[in-house]
Structure 1
């Protein structure tokens, strides 16, 4: 690694285990991996000054923190948010992602039945039809951006149908989701906050209408499951919050995962026909793509009780960032981790997190990738990159801003 490869904003104080690194530095969000390598070698558990809390960059510590029940998402004593963003935080705080047991256990148990393998596998024919229709709509030749043409529609249509909202409402769902997840972006503006609050209110009203309709006329869908749960399993406000979570999380990360995977395959020089020759090879390629370019790079936890991890003492209320993107390239777990190699010896990656907050939608995301990728490359064997993939300025999400390809 040469200094020229490192982001200009990176400064590592190894002796004090402190790092300055702007998440908005284009050299970083376009390619964070040189910075991750330098940090991991110098101080794998460090204070990221730009965020103001500790972060872990090695696989062992990130894995341990995901599973350590002394760390969670709820933060006792956290100051209330400003009044102007209260509607967003009120909704967010009721989602299972932000809760700890027993509330987390109660909510997750209710929703899990819709995401078990057998339930998800029943969606395969529908996903195949969605994918084939999108491929049919691509032009025969020329250049196209595969994000809006392919990667974005698949997850939003699938998760909309799973929950039971019209797929025709996908543009609204995408718009609301994009505006809401901007709240997690570092350096967000007042305009971002106002847009997120407006999206939260609109999305909540939309979901309340659908949940009320399901209480009156139940169907075979996830909204009905939330709307008609026995008393004590979920409140009306929790139903809205968790429906919003499932819609947002069910497509936002999968869009990035599909786009990142296509870019990884095209950039690898490997033969797609060989990568997707069998279901087993397809599954291995999907797992390697999720390791190589995970759609989420930073997930925060809060210390709930005194703890000591990797030689560092934590007090209740201390926050710690789990750098999934750095952990997934740790040479202590994977040989030559910066190479895309679906044939490598399998080792569990951290792309879906871990512990009680392990991604509920992992089986569905895997299925969508296992359908979308081989069908794309089988139908378009001459597919190639039209220009270098361009990643969006929205760290800690890792997703492309555009994926321009030449069809052939």
Structure 2
């Protein structure tokens, strides 16, 4: 089977927001261009189907190998093979022009099926570290789109396939891109936004309220906190803020997170790829606490990039204590010019053209243009 140049674009993504959000951004852009979209992911898609209105959505069997050894891969293999077989049949029916994977093991079966059917395929890497599935299929796909110019673990032989696109963000994020940073004054309310990913993070509930309660009265009385909490943590976090006399709005999920980021003077959160991209597009300073057990320390690598650019301050979770956070907050909130500078630096890291560049790449692949250009370069022409 060869590609149908007028066929739909298949987006394959893992079931987390970090993988689905850039896929959603690409779907929005391609839909504006008149392209049909097919989404392939695992059973978690039922929680996110509203992100892809009008798309045909297929759940495909998938499994993540447990651990790094052969035993984990062998255990997952039957489910992955089942996913490849189902994906092979789906692709035969929908006849796509191109398949793009956004990482996570649910993308492996659709990408493998695309390669078997000789359909143009590419991957997108959101992080500063090439993910395991993208690393696995990198030698076989036609292009590797990347947020960063030199993702860790990219093979020397695959560097010619790398296309620097940036990490696409959703329309809701782009709508906040022109909201100016509200410079912090000596008497103004201090707006802090605290979150730890799409489902919140316990460490934020454990550390942030106590740190804020220990701040000097002159700072504490000016705080307006917005915090995303896990349901089981919400009552105790509310009690901690109430006891400290801190104004706080708590929810288990904010469906207007981009607007919340835009309103903040300072963000405290994890450093997943989507968070880092959104902080750059909107231009807000942050204290980043990388998830310590993320595969290949990708969140730490992301945070190091922003910190190195002067846009954020990284505190590893082992060092993220009430005392350490309180000291950093006193330092930053007592010197608003530091926050202002970090907001400017964050804005400079933003990649507002990412979705356009990625959509262009996908359409070029579907027409065979990117592959011809790549072959021409390899031939030395």
With the shorter chain as reference, the TM-score category is under 0.3
Higher relative contact order (CA 8 A, sep 6+): 1
Q: What TM-score do the two structures reach when normalised by structure 1?
A: 0.25
Q: What TM-score do the two structures reach when normalised by structure 2?
A: 0.26
